[in-house]
Amino acid sequence: MLDSKYSGECMRVIWDEEALGYIYLSEEVKRKVEEWVKSLSKKELEKLKEYEETGDAIICPTVDFDSEGGLVVKAVKHNGEFMLIAGVHGCGFGEEYYVGILIE
């Protein structure tokens, strides 16, 4: 069983390999994101509002924006499901992709 700071709960990522063809995430970044996702509780995620309507998100603090070339990874709610978005931001421009689903 995976470790979690929340008793009985542990979130994990199912990566969308097709989406990962559009945005590069190194194995190191994916590992950092997976570790971070384990620390999220479902209760915490359930507080999120729909991303497409509100922009509400939890930003992964373990992915360094500067050293990863402007990469940001976020946990969001999309159509009632918990998802991961990865995007590269810079110079007023951002491009984001849904790269994974979060499940217990």
- Structural domain contains residue 26: yes
Q: Which amino acid is at 30?
A: K
Q: Which two tokens stand for residue 2?
A: 């995976």
- Structural domain contains residue 40: yes
Instruction: Find the helix or strand (DSSP H, E) in which 102 lies.
Output: strand 93-103
The answer to whether 77 and 49 have CB atoms below 8 angstroms apart is yes
Residue 20 has pLDDT above 80, yes or no: yes
pLDDT digits (tens, 9 = 90+) for 76-103: 999 999 999 999 988 777 889 999 999 9
Q: What integer pLDDT is reported at residue 91 of this predicted model?
A: 75
Q: What integer pLDDT is reported at residue 6 of this predicted model?
A: 42
Task: Give the CA distances from residue 18 to residues 15, 26, 64, in Å, rounded to whole numbers and listed in that order.
Answer: 9, 15, 24
- Structural domain contains residue 5: no
Instruction: Find the helix or strand (DSSP H, E) in which 29 lies.
Output: helix 27-39
Q: What integer pLDDT is reported at residue 93 of this predicted model?
A: 74
Domains contained in the chain, number: 1
| DSSP letter (8 states) at residue 82 | E
Domain span at 84: 12-103
- Structural domain contains residue 20: yes
pLDDT digits (tens, 9 = 90+) for 36-76: 999 999 999 999 999 999 999 999 999 999 999 999 999 99
